Structure 1
C-alpha cells in the first residue's frame, strides 16, 4: 500500500461557544492514500466540513495530529500553512468564493501568480478550456451562472496542479444537470492531474463514485462504515 498523503491521529477540534467549549470533532484517526478519492458523508452538523478544514489547515486541531505530505500541520504557523496550501492543495467551496472584481481568467491565474509562475495566464487559459469555459475568460462572476462560477472555482483550484484537492459540497448549490457536470469535471481533473481528492457531499451519486466513503456522526467516524467502499 502507498504511503498516506493525509494522516490524522486522534485529531480533535473544539471551538469556544457562548456556553463554553464545544467539541466539533473527537478521536479522528484516518489515513488517505495517494491518488485515492475519499467521500465524507453524514448528517448536517456531524463535522464533515470541519474535518475537511482540518485536512487543509484552515482549522487548527486542538488535539491529536494532522499531517499532510509528511508535514505536521498542527505545528505550522499561519504563514507556513498558507505557503503549504499554495504549493500543495486546492480547495473548492460550495459558495465558489470567486473575486468579484476579477474576470474568470484573472481568478484562475491568481494562485499561479502568487506562486511566481511566469506562465500564469497561459496556464489559467488552459484550465478554463479544460472546464469548457474558454469563451468566458473575460467575464466577471456576476455575468456567469452558478454552474459556470463553480467551473471557474474548479479551474482555479486545479491550476497549480495540487497534490491534494479538497471539495466541500461542490454540487450543493447547483441544479441536477450542473451538479452532474461538476462531478464529471472533478473526477476528470483528478485523473488528469493525479491529485488525491477528498470531498464532502450529501449526494449519494457523488459518494458512490468515490473509492472509499467515511461516515461521520456527532463529530466522530461511525465505526461500522469507517472503511466502507463506495458501491
Structure 2
C-alpha cells in the first residue's frame, strides 16, 4: 500500500510540474502577441524573432550552465538523476524515510518548470526594450541573463545558497512568493536598466521636445496577448 502511494505521489507531482510549466510556457505566446501588437508594423518581424530566439537561448543556456549554477545540478543535465525512472522509484520506495514530507518528482519535469521561468524573466526585458535595441545586442544579453544572472540570484533564494559566500537571504527573513522576486523583479530590474541606458524610442520626441504618439500596429493582437498572459499567471 505504501509503495502504491509513493508511485501515485511521484506521478501526481511530476504531472503537476508539467501542467504548470506548460501554462507558463504558454505565456511566451502572450508576450509575443502583446509586444508585436504594440510596436510599429515595421518592427513586428523583429519582435517575433526576438521572442522565439530568446526562448531558444534560455533553454540552451539553462541546460548548459544555468541549472548547474542554480542548483549544482551538473552540466548537460548530468544533475537530473531521473534517467532511469524505475531505478529511482525502487530506490526511494524501498527506504523507510521516503515519506518525510519532501516532494518526490521527476528531475526532468523540474528542469522544464524552471527553464520556462527563465524565459519568462527574459521576456519581460524584451517588452521593455522593444524598438530600442538591436537584435544581436538583445540576444547577446539574453545569453548572459539566462545563463548566469538569473541562475545566480535564483541560487541565493530557491537553492538557499549564500550571497557571494557572505550571508544567507533566508536567515535575513527574505521569502519569495511565487517567483515575484526571482522571476518578475529580476526581469523588471534588467528591463529598467536597459530602458535607462537606451533612452526613448526613435521618433518619440520631436526636434522641439514635443511628445509624439506612437500607436501600436495591432491592438486586437495586443489584447489577445494580454488575456493569454492573464491565463498563464493564474
Q: What interval of TM-score do these two structures reach, taking the shorter chain for normalisation?
A: under 0.3
The higher relative CO (CA closer than 8 Å, separation ≥ 6) is in 2
- Of structures 1 and 2, the larger Rg is shown by 2
Q: What TM-score, normalized to structure 1?
A: 0.24
Give the number of the structure whose residues are more often strand, by fraction: 1
